[in-house]
């Protein structure tokens, strides 16, 4: 398992939790912030679970889930920014970190027996962002 992924996903989760608290306490935003904290912390949790995978299929499944959660987190961050809840500096920082996690997870999936469609999907994702 890629140890930088575990550190980066943990650090990202901490930032997301702090943002969640700010959004609820200061902005009184409860719906999207709850979705954000769920998906943003799930990236690291699933990456950590992958380190204890009992099979290659289990490993790939956990990393795939982490990737999907990272994509979802990217969506919630973009939505919060578009709705005016995040300033551009905070958004750019968090979104950049989220995209980095997506790229790392794609690379892991590519090298862990991912099917051809995933390779194409990851390539499209990287080209889009």
Q: Which of 107, 42, 47, 119 is nearest to 73 (CA)?
A: 42
3 state SS of 43: helix
- Where do the structural domains in the chain lie, given as residue ranges? 3-128
> Which CATH class name applies to 3-128?
mainly alpha
The model's pTM is 0.88
d(CA 20, CA 24): 6
Tens digit of pLDDT for each residue in 50-107? 999 999 999 999 999 999 999 999 999 999 999 999 999 999 999 999 999 999 999 9
124 phi-psi bin (left φ>0, alpha ψ -120 to 50, beta other) = alpha
Tens digit of pLDDT for each residue in 30-41? 999 999 999 999
């Amino acid at each position: 398992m890629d140890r930088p992924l575990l550190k980066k996903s943990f650090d990202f989760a901490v930032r997301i939790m702090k943002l969640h608290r700010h959004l609820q306490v200061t902005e009184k935003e409860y719906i999207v912030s709850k979705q954000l904290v769920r998906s943003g912390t799930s990236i690291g949790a699933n990456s950590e679970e992958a380190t204890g995978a009992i099979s290659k299929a289990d490993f790939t499944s956990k990393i795939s889930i982490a990737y999907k959660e990272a994509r979802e987190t990217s969506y919630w961050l973009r939505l919060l920014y578009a709705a005016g809840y995040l300033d551009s500096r905070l958004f750019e920082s968090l979104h950049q970190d989220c995209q980095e996690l997506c790229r790392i997870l794609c690379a892991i999936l590519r090298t862990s027996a991912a099917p051809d469609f995933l390779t194409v999907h990851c390539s499209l994702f990287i080209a889009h962002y």
